[in-house]
Amino acid sequence: MTDTIVHVPLGERAYDITIGSGVIGRAGHLIGPVLKRPRVAIVADAHVARLHLDKLTAALDGSGIASDVLALPQGEATKNWAHLTEVVEWMLDLRLERGDVVVAFGGGVIGDLVGFAAAVFRRGIRFVQMPTSLLAQVDSSVGGKTGINTRHGKNLVGAFHQPTMVLADIDLLNTLTPRDFLAGYGEVAKYGLLGNAPFFEWLETHGPKAAAGDLDARIEAVRMSCQMKSDIVVRDETEQGDRALLNLGHTFCHALEAATGYSDRLLHGEGVAIGCALAFETSARLGLCSQEAPSRVRDHLQAMGMKRDLSQIPGDLPDADALIDLMGQDKKVEAGKLRFIMARGIGDAFVTSDVDADVVRSVLNDALQGR
Ligand code: GLY
């Protein structure tokens, strides 16, 4: 089977996203041509390393490429100052040079952390994204956003630093738990909802097959998501405008994640899916789209076996006013006003600061009461 390529045409920062089955086995062949010397540094998620690292190092060895490996604990807590220091000091210990390449082998946490380390190491070193979760394959590994969390919130410190290539091996998704796969699918559905109604229709038909493991459906879902992300990033690399569309559902999601302590109670992609449903509900109440649109969003999430209601988040949630307060730390605040991504219909989202807080409050109140 030949790999599927999505090109991200960013001038001198252009790169390819290689999507397919068995990509990891071709890593040496794919990475080799960009190396100045036959050596890479790999920073891996420890859990992913236990499952898949031997395949990666064997593929690199097969092309005569030596590798050093640093394995870091799985989980969002790894994306912090302490691990950034650890990665950078390790790269210095290895005496990596500016011409060398570091490989991020894991999900979004590893990709964001290693990308940021690569951005600041010797004022910028190249890095390869090898995303191993669905969320990372369709979103975080593409587009050059890198960074860490601080005690003030998620992703508040970071840099735009585009990868040299993205290698997305669809086979690695087979070892995800169904919950992690579906959380990543929240970001896939987001692309259809924000800008591509035919893709959302395709997902309504093929999404369940993708969740059940169908390789072609998975490749197509990842390809379309990456193509849409590439198109948006090329229009607005540093998020001065259109790139904010990628945050559909995220203002609600960030408040829910903060309210649940960034814990296992709510995974990021689950929050995105619920957030998309709430964004469409808000849009309908504002008269921007028909009531059928939020119903269709919720029906698809239900058909996929995903969370779509606040009542499906275990434990207590704060009231609507407290959730709105938590939105205030969102990076989309401009001059103190919250920016929301609203929709005129499925596949037709837009950015606005003109959302009446009372409407958001009433949507949240009803959602909290299970209405
Ligand atoms: N995940 C949103 C973005 O890359 O802009």
User: What's the pLDDT tens digit per position in 337-366?
Assistant: 678 999 999 999 999 988 888 999 999 999
Claim to verify: residue 24 and residue 170 sit in the same structural domain:
yes
Claim to verify: residue 254 and residue 194 sit in the same structural domain:
yes
Q: Give per-residue pLDDT as tens, 47-73.
A: 999 999 999 999 999 999 999 999 999
Q: Give per-residue pLDDT as tens, 299-314.
A: 999 999 999 999 999 9
- Asked if the model's pLDDT at residue 336 lies above 60, the reply is no
Claim to verify: residue 196 and residue 168 sit in the same structural domain:
no
Domains of the chain: total: 2
Q: Of the candidates 109, 140, 175, which is a domain's last residue?
A: 175
Q: Which strand (E) or helix (H) includes residue 71?
A: strand 66-72
46 forms bridges with which residues in the sheet?
none
Structure-token match 């579906």, residue found: 182
Give the pLDDT confidence score for residue 333 in this predicted structure. 56
Pocket residue to mutate for ligand 1, from 139, 146, 234, 254, most atoms within 8 A of Cβ: 139
- Domain CATH for 154: 3.40.50.1970
User: Among 5-9, 23-27, 239-243, where is mean pLDDT lowest?
Assistant: 239-243
Per-residue pLDDT band at 24 (split at 50, 70, 90): very high
Give the pLDDT confidence score for residue 152 in this predicted structure. 82
Sequential DSSP letters for 238-265: T-SSGGGGGGTTHHHHHHHHHHTTTSTT
Q: What's the gap in Å between 244 CA and the centre of ligand 1?
A: 8
Claim to verify: residue 215 and residue 163 sit in the same structural domain:
no
- What is the atom index within ligand 1 of the atom nearest the CA of 244? 5
What whole-number percentage of the chain has pLDDT above 70?
A: 97
- Asked if the model's pLDDT at residue 26 lies above 70, the reply is yes
- What is the atom index within ligand 1 of the atom nearest the CA of 233? 5
Claim to verify: residue 142 and residue 218 sit in the same structural domain:
no
Give the total residue count for the chain.
371
Beta strands at 337-338 and 15-20: parallel, antiparallel or unpaired:
unpaired
Claim to verify: residue 97 and residue 166 sit in the same structural domain:
yes
Give the pLDDT confidence score for residue 367 in this predicted structure. 96
Claim to verify: residue 312 and residue 347 sit in the same structural domain:
yes
Whole-angstrom distance, CA of residue 129 vs CA of residue 109: 12
Q: Tell me the one-letter amino acid at 120.
A: V
With a 6 Å cutoff on the Cβ, whether 243 touches ligand 1 is yes
Tokens of 246: 């990628």
Burial (CB < 10 A; 0-12, 13-18, 19+), residue 315, is exposed
Q: What's the gap in Å between 301 CA and the centre of ligand 1?
A: 21
> Among 153, 167, 150, which Cα is nearest to 52's?
167
Q: Of the candidates 157, 175, 193, which is a domain's last residue?
A: 175
Q: Of the candidates 175, 201, 223, which is a domain's last residue?
A: 175
Claim to verify: residue 163 and residue 235 sit in the same structural domain:
no
Pocket residue to mutate for ligand 1, from 229, 250, 351, most atoms within 8 A of Cβ: 229
SS3 at position 78: helix
Claim to verify: residue 168 and residue 188 sit in the same structural domain:
no
Q: What is the DSSP letter of 339?
A: P
Q: What's the gap in Å between 187 CA and the centre of ligand 1?
A: 10
Give the contacts of 340 (CB within 8 A, at least 6 positions apart): 251, 279, 282, 332, 351, 352, 353, 355, 360
Q: What's the gap in Å between 18 CA and the centre of ligand 1?
A: 19
Give the pLDDT confidence score for residue 337 in this predicted structure. 66
Which domain does 280 fall in, by range?
Answer: 178-369
Give the pLDDT confidence score for residue 202 in this predicted structure. 98
- Domain CATH for 308: 1.20.1090.10
Per-residue pLDDT band at 293 (split at 50, 70, 90): very high
Q: Give per-residue pLDDT as tens, 218-239.
A: 999 999 999 999 999 999 999 9
Mean pLDDT throughout 312-336? 81
> Among 285, 286, 225, 279, which Cα is nearest to 254's?
279
- What is the atom index within ligand 1 of the atom nearest the CA of 247? 2
For residue 28, how many other CB atoms are within 10 A of its CB? 21
